Amino acid sequence: MSLTNGPHGRPYAKLASRMFALFCAGATWLCVTILMLLLWNVVSYGWDSLSWEYINRFPSRFAEKAGIKPALVGSLYLIGLTALFSVPIGVGTAIYLEEYAPKNRWRTIVQINIANLAGVPSIVYGILGLGLFVRAMQLNRSLMAGALTLTLVVLPIVILAAQESLRAVPSTIRQASYALGATRWQTVWCQLLPAALPGIMTGVILALSRALGEAAPLVAIGAATYVRFLPEDIVNDEFTALPLQIYTWTDQPQKGFHEVAAAGIVVLLVVLICINALAVILRYRFSKNKQ
Amino acid sequence: MSETGSTNFPLKMSTALPNRAAMSSAAEMAGQSKKVVTRELDFFYGIHQALYNISLDIPEHRVTALIGPSGCGKSTFLRCLNRMNDMIDGINVRGEVLLDGINIYHRGTDVVELRKRVGMVFQKSNPFPKSIYENVAYGPRVAGVRQRSVLDEMVEKCLRQSALWDEVQNRLNDSALQLSGGQQQRLCIARALATSPEVLLMDEPASALDPKSTAAIEELIFDLKATYTIVIVTHNMQQAARVSDQTAFFYEGHLIEVGATNEIFTNPLEKQTEDYITGRFG
């Protein structure tokens, strides 16, 4: 057999390989290009409205005076509270399902349900939140009700991500720990959680990014769209959030509001990038400690 | 190999052990107290029976080697001795495993306590992704030792025992994952020693190592038997002959023969044992 492509070789294999590589590269560039166009469009549209005053102002009937402050603060509150609720519940559930629950039919049913819940449209959670948190628990249209509703939206994502990263911890680590006379709690706390932490954090950040961008469930629970104060009491005050504010502005007939909305999108994107950057930094620090 | 081997001779699975082996074993180990004793041990993975009626005495402060072809049940047997098989779903154990005369499969057994007394070293070295120090200190820590000076002392003692101290004493806080394969395995041994076990189970501890590291581990086993009772699973006949005092040959879930190592290797009673040792199958 010669190493050059002789008559006995597979002449199309090389071509197919090259075509496939081209296809993959093309797909990547298509995504990047579309994203760039979108970004360019939004930034150029909203650039003139962006200013420190815009960020530091309350909404207004006049587009040129409208600001995003309450929505920005509301969104930060929302993701903070959502993280507070969803991380312990989500990670706890994942630990139970992976480390404690007997592998029986009951566990399979729960598992399938969680996977399905991850695909349920968020408006459905919004309606549930309206009935459960706003009405039954009488939390009204508060930050609390919003955060709990968003917790429902992101919980399946957090659980699945945490389960995935717990499963990725080599079973040899578990065995070594148990063989040294560690209890299940000690094994989970001292070995599995630290090893799974980077993966869990990635999942949590992804989930929070989703929570940050959700408008539908907030619409469903009736969150306000025109708020002229900052929320001080998280269970009583009304609130609004970035996606909701953007959505309302784009719905206005005046062109000025569309520009303000574009500026809002830029603010939303910046917050997202900050969260993701934080995730990368934390991940890096944790995996550096490990090596 | 094993297929031709099993057709070469009819399977003769005697449930009673050959007389001479039992006798000579008794003579050899006279005055030697039995640390671990199994009585008519059956083991099932679901409906598949992996061990049949195993009765084996493991003398204190001796090295017992378990040999046999892959899948013969020797690792399963080893894991019965510290109940590591409990982690697998759908297993079933019948019979008794006595540690100092007390059945560890008795219902009230504290498995956590048992595993502190019966340590284990695995085939593939599996250090925690932590520092060398923290690896060794983990056992005492989970047992409740908090005092730094006690931990320091423990870590040094165990690393010396496993002949690793000289190589790592200046980098105890480095990650254990930076050590070489042989060093990692010795670290795992040090880690197992740190719970002050009475019995040390080793599941092919040198199978993934180069000859030099293997020699280091074997020397270590020789030194350790003064303090610990050791049970070692090995695929390596020479290794079994070199390190062990007693050898047990397993085949298809049955204990075929057990006796003093020199007798098993020079004058086995069972043809299956002889065939396996001389490399005719397995």
pLDDT digits (tens, 9 = 90+) for A41-95: 999 988 888 888 888 888 888 877 888 888 999 999 999 999 999 999 999 999 9
In angstroms, the CA A239 to CA A234 distance is 9
Strands (E), A62-164: none
Higher pLDDT, A233 or B67: B67
Q: Distance between CA atoms of A234 and B51, rounded to whole angstroms?
A: 63
Report which of residues A47 and B280 the model is more confident about. A47
Chain B closest-CA separation from residue A170 CA (Å): 9
What integer pLDDT is reported at residue B32 of this predicted model?
A: 72
For residue B21, pLDDT over 50 is answered with: no
Average the pLDDT over B81-96 and give the result.
Answer: 90
Residue B243 has pLDDT above 80, yes or no: yes
| B interface test, pick of A99, A180, A290 with most B CB neighbours within 10 Å | A180
Cα torsion through B6, B12, B14, B17, rounded to 10: -70
- Interface ipTM: 0.83
* Partner-chain contact B188 A176, CB within 8 Å: yes
Chain A nearest CA to B264, separation (Å): 31
Tokens at A215, concatenated: 């408008």
pLDDT tens string B107-135 = 888 999 999 999 999 988 899 999 999 99
- List the single residue in A with minimal CA-CA distance to B122: A176
B2-126+197-277: CATH number? 3.40.50.300
pLDDT, position B24: 47
C-alpha B77/C-alpha B248 separation (Å) is 11
For residue B92, the SS3 value is: strand
Residues 203-232 of B with CB under 8 A from A: none
Buried residues in B127-149 as b, exposed as e (16+ CB within 10 A): bbbbbbbbbbbbbbbbbeeeeee
**Residue numbers of A between 47 and 86 with CB closer than 8 Å to B:** none
Residue of B nearest to A184 (CA): B112
Contact present, B189 and B108 (Cβ < 8 Å): no
Where in chain B are the domains? 2-126+197-277
pLDDT of residue B31: 55
pLDDT digits 0-9 by tens, B10-19: 444 444 444 4
**CB-based burial of residue A57 (10 Å sphere; 0-12 exposed, 13-18 middle, 19+ buried)?**
middle
Beta pairing, strands B229-233 & B199-203:
parallel
Cross-chain Cβ contact A290/B175 below 8 Å: yes
DSSP B115-161: HHHEEEE-SS----SSBHHHHHHHHHHHTT---HHHHHHHHHHHHHH
pLDDT per residue over B181-235, tens digit each? 889 999 999 999 999 999 999 999 888 788 888 888 898 899 898 999 999 999 8
Q: Tell me the chain B residues in contact with residue A287 when contact means C-beta distances shorter than 8 Å.
A: none
Question: What residues of chain A score a pLDDT lower than 50?
Answer: 291
Average pLDDT over residues B65-93: 91
Check CB contact of A168 with chain B, cutoff 8 Å: no
CB nearest A290 (choices: B112, B129, B142): B129
Yes or no, beta carbons of A176 and B191 under 8 Å apart: yes
Q: Do B128 and A176 touch (CB under 8 A)?
A: yes
- Does residue B170 have a pLDDT over 90? yes
Do residues B175 and A291 touch, judged by C-beta distance below 8 A? yes
- pLDDT, position B10: 40
Two structure tokens written together for B182:
């042989």
